[in-house]
Amino acid sequence: MKSWIETFQKSRVWVFLLVGSANTLIGYGIFGLAYKTFGMNYSAALIVAYILGILISYSNHRRVTFKSTSKHHQAFTRFGLTYLLIYALNAGLLIGLIEWGGLDPLVGQAVALIFVTIVSFVVQRSWVFKS
């Protein structure tokens, strides 16, 4: 009989959301720290959060979510390209939500994360770590 942990781990969507949530909280914390504590503007804070987040996220998703055996060079290159796309989407949404939507940068980033998470999963599953 399979344990609930084994069943849960086989559902990549749930594992992606769990691992991604941890990564997102870390990235959001870095964003907030850079923005509020270090006084960086929201664009610079987003860059810092993405650079550190990419390293953490790649390692966690490769090992835990997708259990990838692909070559690191190919997977990391694709992961990096994916995050360039995700960053551009995130930055565009964040600017729009702040400048045109009037949202606070912390709220705007929280809203933008919903959309970019979906795009990130689809691209990672179908291209970066495809089986």
pTM of the model: 0.71
Nearest to 66 by CA among 15, 20, 114, 17: 15
**pLDDT above 90 for 6:** no
pLDDT tens across 28-50, in order? Answer: 999 999 999 999 999 999 899 98
Percent of all residues in the chain with a pLDDT value above 70, rounded to a whole number: 91
Q: Which tokens hold the place of 70?
A: 């692909």
Could you give the CA distance from residue 98 to residue 106 in angstroms, rounded to a whole number? 9
List the chain domain ranges: 4-128
**pLDDT above 60 for 9:** no
Tell me what pLDDT residue 131 has.
Answer: 63
Task: Give me the DSSP letters along the chain.
Answer: ---HHHHHHH-HHHHHHHHHHHHHHHHHHHHHIIIIIS---HHHHHHHHHHHHHHHHHHHIIIIIS---S-HHHHHHHHHHHHHHHHHHHHHHHHIIIIIT---HHHHHHHHHHHHHHHHHHHIIIIIS--
**How far is Cα of residue 111 from the mean position of the Cα atoms in its chain?**
13
